[in-house]
Amino acid sequence: MSVALEMMSYHSSCGEDELGLLSREEVPNQLAGVDNYYFCPIFLEDMDKVRHAIYMFVDLFGLSRFEKDNLIRFTLTVKKNYRRVPYHNWTHGFSVANSMYTIIKHAPKAFRPLECLALFIGSLCHDLDHRGKNNKFMLETESPLAAIYTTSTLEHHHFNQTVTILQQEGHNIFGKLTSTEYKQVLGNIKHCILATDLALFFPNKARLIKLVEDKLFEWENPDHRLLIEAIAMTACDLCASAKPWDVQVETVKVIFEEFYEQGDAEKAVGKKPIPMMDRTRTDDQAESQVGFLSGICIPCYELLHKLIPDTEPLLNGCKENLQRWKQIAEDKKKEASKIKEEDGEETDTGIEEVNEEEEGEETIEEIDDECVDGKNDAGKEDDT
């Protein structure tokens, strides 16, 4: 077991050349725009994302209780342990951490220092070693991970990957914390990462909404604080939905490419994928986004905004994108309806011509084929 761990550590750890390069660099005192809710990480090179992540950590927590080289090693190794899948990759992990950093910067009194530490590191690591497939796929294909974790399969794995990295030599960024602090932060990181399972979002949201509506929410109540942490994690995980339109569109492209790759894998084993994971149903993307933003993202940001008003830009950005998707979805519906009408007119004309000219059975069969082809051109479903 120790040999296997040693081999895994070697192959999954950062390189000494990268460490040396960043160790020699000074952490800047300021990075313009990084604390803007609409900051666009997709345009940064991977190593620049590492630099930005280190800057955000130092800006929030300083270095008096953290070793700089350990922080660099940890961040580089986190980058390396995100797989090269279309969406759940290093760019996504960094984006979520950047959104959490922005919330903490704009609402510095919402969370306590150790909570902020858990929220930021939990965000950075929340999708470590994601395979580009969802929990349902893991269970249905009897993945080895599903045999270990029967609920929140991937999220438990992401947390365990985080712990594995922390345990590698020179990677324990929490080494100067007391044992009590270390235990608290690690437990809170687990809570934060598990909260990114959307299956848990709905009960968390329902509990928190009831507390708010009944005017029973108390910032001093530990359970209530865990709920708002969970909602904040979901909000950051969904941050692409609130980014400027050009970033939203580019992100949706890679999200659906990952969906389609799962759909292809399902087809390969004889299963029929749901419409949003079927690459033959690309016209459904806008309608899926309307359902996703209106059913999940907007309710999440509305709830977060009630408790942390400084997060309003997330809500506003998401609402703007929702309107754009609604317009596109409506245009797609009109286009599909027009095609159906045109197909119907062509079919009627064809049958009349056959009846008048009495061309016979062969021509009727050709028209029937056209009708079938016309029906196969349309299609719609929803959800993202």
Per-residue pLDDT of 149-197, as tens digits, reads: 999 999 999 999 999 999 999 999 999 999 999 999 999 999 999 999 9
- The CATH code for residues 2-204 is 1.10.1300.10
- What is the mean pLDDT of the segment spanning 255-278? 97
Task: With a cut of 60, say whether residue 10 has pLDDT above it.
Answer: no
289 is in an annotated binding site: yes
Task: List the one residue out of 71, 74, 91, 72 whose CA is nearest residue 82.
Answer: 91
348 is in an annotated binding site: no
How confident is the model at residue 98, as a pLDDT? 98
The CA angle 96-101-104, to the nearest 5 degrees, is: 130
- pLDDT bin (cut points 50, 70, 90) of residue 68 is very high
Task: With a cut of 80, say whether residue 382 has pLDDT above it.
Answer: no
Give 42 or 120, the one with higher predicted confidence.
120
- What is the mean pLDDT of the segment spanning 80-84? 97
126 is in an annotated binding site: yes
Give 349 or 316, the one with higher predicted confidence.
316
91 is in an annotated binding site: yes
Biggest distance spanned by C-alpha atoms of the chain: 92
How confident is the model at residue 342, as a pLDDT? 78
How confident is the model at residue 80, as a pLDDT? 96
How confident is the model at residue 9, as a pLDDT? 56
Task: With a cut of 90, say whether residue 5 has pLDDT above it.
Answer: no
Q: Which residues are catalytic?
A: 88
- What is the mean pLDDT of the segment spanning 86-92? 98
Per-residue pLDDT of 286-304, as tens digits, reads: 999 999 999 999 999 999 9
How confident is the model at residue 8, as a pLDDT? 55
- What is the mean pLDDT of the segment spanning 105-131? 98
Task: With a cut of 90, say whether residue 76 has pLDDT above it.
Answer: yes
- pLDDT bin (cut points 50, 70, 90) of residue 345 is low
The mean pLDDT of the chain is: 89
127 is in an annotated binding site: yes
237 is in an annotated binding site: yes
Pairwise CA distance, residues 342 & 348, whole Å:
10
Pairwise CA distance, residues 81 & 219, whole Å:
35
Per-residue pLDDT of 200-240, as tens digits, reads: 999 999 999 999 999 999 999 999 999 999 999 999 999 99
Pairwise CA distance, residues 21 & 74, whole Å:
15
Pairwise CA distance, residues 166 & 169, whole Å:
8
320-to-35, 240, 314, 347 alpha-carbon distances in Å:
20, 12, 10, 41
Which residue has 């050709």 as its token pair? 366
Task: With a cut of 60, say whether residue 357 has pLDDT above it.
Answer: no
- pLDDT bin (cut points 50, 70, 90) of residue 340 is confident
- What is the mean pLDDT of the segment spanning 12-37? 93
123-to-57, 115, 145 alpha-carbon distances in Å:
12, 12, 21
Instruction: Map out the domains of the chain as residue ranges.
Output: 2-204
Specify the pTM: 0.87
Per-residue pLDDT of 240-257, as tens digits, reads: 999 999 999 999 999 999
81 is in an annotated binding site: no
How confident is the model at residue 336, as a pLDDT? 84
